[in-house]
Amino acid sequence: MNIDKELRDQEAFDEAPFSEEDKKLYTLLMAELDKESEIRIKPTFSADIIKKLEARKRRETIWEFLLFAAAIAGVVILTALTFSIFTSNATESVDLFQNSPVGPVIALVVLIVIFQVVDKKYLKDTRLKKRLNQS
């Protein structure tokens, strides 16, 4: 620390020319301020944090696995639903588009949109973000 510069800046702030006593006091004070005070830190502090991080990582892995399983189950259910809509419609009428074309098409579009949103929000974006951040 440049003590002369500090004294000049302090003098400008105090708005009064320093006496010899002021200079001595400020010099003594700044020497004391530059000394670090004692602080107690447990020796196991870093190890405790690493343990916490590992526990959090385990929880996140389980949560990600559950989300992935739910997404797979969702795909299976949505496929079955779509298939059942088409087959029920086909059994009720020979011509799919002549009898009631709007209902099944809207249902299909809705199912696809829901799947895309779930896939983007919970799988692609989160994984992609992690990869991008790490690169």
Q: Which residues bind another protein (CB under 8 A)?
A: 1, 9-10, 13-14, 21-22, 25-26, 28-30, 32-37, 39, 41-42, 45-50, 52-54, 56, 130, 133-134
Which residue number, 50 or 66, has a Cβ lying nearer to another protein? 50
Alpha carbon distance 50, 23 (integer Å): 48
Which residue number, 54 or 125, has a Cβ lying nearer to another protein? 54
CB of 43 to another protein, least distance (A): 10
Which residue number, 10 or 82, has a Cβ lying nearer to another protein? 10
Which residue number, 31 or 90, has a Cβ lying nearer to another protein? 31
CB of 125 to another protein, least distance (A): 15
Alpha carbon distance 101, 93 (integer Å): 11
